[in-house]
Amino acid sequence: MSLADEIGPGLTGLEQLKALMASGQRPGIAISLDFDLVEVDEGFAVFAGIPGDHAYNPIGMIHGGYAATLLDSSCGCAVHSKLAADQAYTTLELKVAYHKALTRDSGRVRAEGRVVTIGRRAAFAEGRLVGDDGKLYASATSTLLVIQR
């Protein structure tokens, strides 16, 4: 059972995400990479974190997987926010473009995901990873499969 299901069985996707935020609980990936769901609305989700030593790679910068995870989470939750109580989703494809390297000095970043279109079986979303200073660090497009539970 998912954390969202534990918090809000029978709720719409948006209601589940709001209940998750209100509960203060965090899924394991958010604990591991130290980021949080900070904003959600219909078709929109924002995750924020401060990249630090926990996400460094051997070449001296934040691993690209950190940005990809925040972008995948924001795109996925943007879609989740549009789902009915009996629907779920899974990411089929995530394409990430890295615009600027992240380091421990980058400060807080926000991954903002938005639904582009959603249909009965597929959804398309896009995301942007931006710093508090407005710099664009990465962007993504995502294709997601919408499924009945």
Q: State the CATH number of the domain containing residue 90.
A: 3.10.129.10
Domain of residue 17 covers: 3-148
pLDDT, tens digit only, all 149 positions of the chain = 565 556 767 999 999 999 999 999 999 999 999 999 999 999 999 999 999 999 999 999 999 999 999 999 999 999 999 999 999 999 999 999 999 999 999 999 999 999 999 999 999 999 999 999 999 999 999 999 999 98
Instruction: Give the 3-state secondary structure of 39-107.
Output: EEECCEEEEEECCCHHHECCCCCECHHHHHHHHHHHHHHHHHCCCCCCEEEEEEEEEEEECCCCCCCCC
Which structure tokens are listed for 36?
Answer: 């949080």
Which structure tokens are listed for 19?
Answer: 């209940």
Task: Return the number of other C-beta atoms located less than 10 Å from residue 70's C-beta.
Answer: 29
Q: How many domains does the chain have?
A: 1
Three-class secondary structure of residue 42 per DSSP: coil
